[in-house]
Homo-oligomer: A and B are copies of this chain.
Amino acid sequence: MIRSVTVPAAGVPFKNNAAYCVGTGRMGLALQQEYLDHLDLVQEAIRFRYIRGHGLFCDDMSIYRELDSPEGPRPYYNFTYLDRVVDSYLARGIRPFLELGFMPEKLKSGEQTIFYWKGNVTPPNDFDKWEILVEHTLAHLAERYGHDEVATWPVEVWNEPNIGFWAGTMQEYFHLYEVSARAVKRVDPRIPVGGPAICGVDTEHWLRSFFSFVTENDLPIDMVTRHCYAANQPRREGFYVHHSLRKNDIMIDELRETRQIMDDYPRIAGLPLHITEFSTSYVPRCPVHDTVYNAAYIARILSEAGDYADSYSYWTFSDVFEEADVPISVLHGGFGLVGLESIKKPTFWTFAFFSRAGGELVYRDENLIVTRDGDRYAIIGWHADATTDQSAEPISYNLRLPGLSSPQCLLLKQSVGGKHANPLQTWSNLGKPYTLDDAQRRILRASAEPLQRDEKLFAREDGWLEVSVSLPSNHLCMLEITPVEDRTVTYAGFDAREHYGLE
């Protein structure tokens, strides 16, 4: 079936927050060279503005320490690693979106931990010490990087206190929020603070309780944060956790509902809503993350989520990640846009494509957007097919678009899927090596690039452009149309016959 679409000359602003923020493995991993290599890759292609992850106060970052003294243990703060990490972020044009957590060894009130790397999730044994820790950390950052800079770094209080990430009660979380927000604002009242950073469990109850608490106690709040994952129940099997996905507009629905709840609270309505984590599966050993299906599924979300949320931070930019142990092999179902050994995964391109979308939305349906930036079209199409045999028919479009400033245009197509930009398939063809040798690395990196083709596109006599798009099952593509000034006639003696096939 072919969909025929006539694109109007004017559209609406495209609320595109795809590049606002991205997720990351725990902060301590940012010391690794491979992590930074991957960050270079995403920043070159996507240019995220913020980066958010766990582990600021975990012991591998070594911030909170105590020294024995005759008067008892004396807190001190070690910012060696924090400064190094933040320096390396800023050098790559990305700013921290700070998450306060987890609990330093010396402040823990219990033994409950999370992840292979054992983040302690208990409330502080002394809320005053926690408050001072938060204040001291922010004050240090403001001294080193300048108040004006740090005033642009949002601060989120803890992570998913509604599930196993918080060993305390909801009220204890609210108290943590209160002392943390107060500490932040003492350093600089301009620093945005927010919560409750919940995932999709008991959502409405948590949101409403949090909004009431903040309102009643007149606490600072500059943004609401939550998480969204699209996975059904997991099936654990050997190294893997397998997840099927919910319908790919489920997340759009969740965002809409969150906005509706927010609207019930005058102090909350209209605040920025940041989805500080989202992905398909919430397990870093689920193969879906490595597939083109995932890339196409996420495209659907990016095409519309900006209507409801001010950011949606894909979890995560890199497979340098250890929550479920060190990855066993180069591809392993990790969260990342970039796999180990700097392999770009299909969803990398989803973000790369959306980062180049135009500011004006002239057409959108559930498989395609057409955007425009003045004299240029950027079209993104996707076809996510949850069946695994790829038997679905391609989705095809005939697009009619108002002409650009020149009757001759360049049509540049990049496509992801099948034999191209599908490193999972190539890795399988290579025999699924655990780590790569030089030859394998070269093959796999090259295979991860989209299929790029270009052609001349001429406006019809009536000035309209006609473009067809075909989306096979589990494919993603981008088409860019730009006007071209053809200089052929200025080449004296140019003769197409002498080029053996030039069109």
Contacts and interface: CB of A to CB of B under 8 A. Distances in A.
Interface of A: 31-34, 36, 61-62, 65, 67, 69, 74, 76, 78-81, 83-84, 88, 144, 236-240, 242, 286-288, 290-293, 325-329, 340, 385-390, 408, 410, 412, 419-420, 424-426, 428-435, 437, 443, 446-447, 449, 451-456, 473-474, 484-488, 491-503
B501 A291 contact: yes
Nearest to A320: B31
B326 A78 contact: yes
B32 A502 contact: no
B292 A501 contact: yes
Nearest to A81: B326
Contact of A474 (B34, B420, B455, B501): B501
Nearest to A438: B87
A238 B494 contact: yes
Given A239-B491, A326-B81, A329-B491, A430 B447 contact: no
A431 B454 contact: no
Contacts of A431: 408, 410, 484-488
Contacts of A500: 288, 291-293, 385-388, 390, 474
A136 to B, nearest CB: 13
Contacts of A36: 33
B242 A495 contact: yes
A240 to B, nearest CB: 4
Given A81-B326, A412-B443, A492-B238, A432 B31 contact: no
B79 A435 contact: yes
A434 B79 contact: yes
B67 A239 contact: yes
Contacts of A78: 325-326, 328, 434
Contacts of A327: 80
Contact of A340 (B80, B286, B473): B80
A108 to B, nearest CB: 16
A98 to B, nearest CB: 18
Contacts of A242: 495, 498
B325 A434 contact: no
Contacts of A426: 454
A450 to B, nearest CB: 9
16 contacts: A33-B36, A62-B326, A144-B437, A238-B491, A238-B492, A238-B493, A239-B494, A240-B491, A291-B502, A387-B500, A388-B498, A388-B499, A390-B500, A425-B501, A428-B488, A431-B488
Contact of A291 (B446, B455, B499): B499
Given A434-B487, A437-B144, A388 B497 contact: yes
A29 to B, nearest CB: 9
Contacts of A503: 425, 428
A91 to B, nearest CB: 11
A495 B65 CA distance: 21
Contacts of A385: 500-501
A16 to B, nearest CB: 19
Given A36-B33, A487-B432, A473 B501 contact: yes
A80 B328 contact: yes
Given A78-B328, A239-B494, 11 more contacts: A65-B325, A80-B327, A83-B434, A236-B493, A286-B498, A290-B499, A388-B497, A389-B501, A424-B502, A428-B456, A449-B449
Contact of A62 (B88, B287, B325, B455): B325
Interface-central residue, A84, A286, A291, A428, by most chain B CB under 10 Å: A428
Nearest to A78: B328
Given A239-B493, A240-B495, A288-B498, A454 B447 contact: yes
Contact of A428 (B386, B390, B502): B502
A487 B65 contact: no
A498 B289 CA distance: 10
Nearest to A328: B78
Nearest to A444: B454
B428 A240 contact: no
Interface-central residue, A78, A287, A487, A494, by most chain B CB under 10 Å: A287
Contacts of A474: 500-501
A40 B428 CA distance: 32
A118 to B, nearest CB: 10
Nearest to A241: B493
Contacts of A495: 237, 240, 242, 287
